[in-house]
Structure 1
Amino acid sequence: MYESDITKFLSELKQQRPTLEEEQRRGRALLWDKEPVDMDERTRQQASRVGQTPYVYYQNFGA
């Protein structure tokens, strides 16, 4: 049965590092899996934001 080079590589990698899949799951949870958003809290936060000036680096100190 044919097995590609990539499949062989992945099989060998998983044999060498048996904890690889668990490490990947932890990394995903750290960066991507988020808690559900409370829509009432989000609405309150958006309403309390201070507007940003159109060009933030220019401040007219003298005029």
Structure 2
Amino acid sequence: MYQSDITQFLNQLKQQKPTLEAEQRRGRSLLWDKQPVDLDERAKQQASRVEQTPYVYYQNF
């Protein structure tokens, strides 16, 4: 059965590092898997937000 060079490389890499997929999943979960958003808490945060002045450098006039 034909396998491309890339497929052969990936198979060889997986044999050399059997924990590679688990490490990738762990890294993905750190960056992309987020906790569910509490909508009530989010509404409170948005309501308590202080509006920024239009020109922030001269706000003391």
TM-score (norm 1): 0.86
Structure 2 stretches of 5 or more lacking a match? none
Give the total of aligned pairs: 61
Q: Please give the secondary structure, in 1, of the residue aligned with 2:22.
A: helix
* Post-superposition offset of 1:60: 4.9
Given the superposition, is the C-alpha separation of residues 60 and 50 from structure 1 closer, same or farther in structure 2, using an over 3 Å criterion? Answer: closer
More helix by share: 2
* Runs of 4+ residues deviating >6 angstroms: none
Match of 1:20 in 2: 20
- The C-alpha deviation readout for 1:10-31, integer Å capped at 9, x for no partner, is 0000001000000001101111
Structure 1 stretches of 5 or more lacking a match? none
Q: Please give the secondary structure, in 2, of the residue aligned with 1:36.
A: coil
Match of 2:3 in 1: 3
TM-score (norm 2): 0.89
* Post-superposition offset of 1:59: 1.9
Q: Please give the secondary structure, in 2, of the residue aligned with 1:7.
A: helix
Given the superposition, is the C-alpha separation of residues 21 and 15 from structure 1 closer, same or farther in structure 2, using an over 3 Å criterion? Answer: same
- The C-alpha deviation readout for 1:20-60, integer Å capped at 9, x for no partner, is 0000011011111111000000000001111112233x225
CA RMSD of aligned residues (A): 1.3
Aligned residue runs from structure 1 range 1-63, under 5 A: 1-56=1-56, 58-61=57-60, 63=61
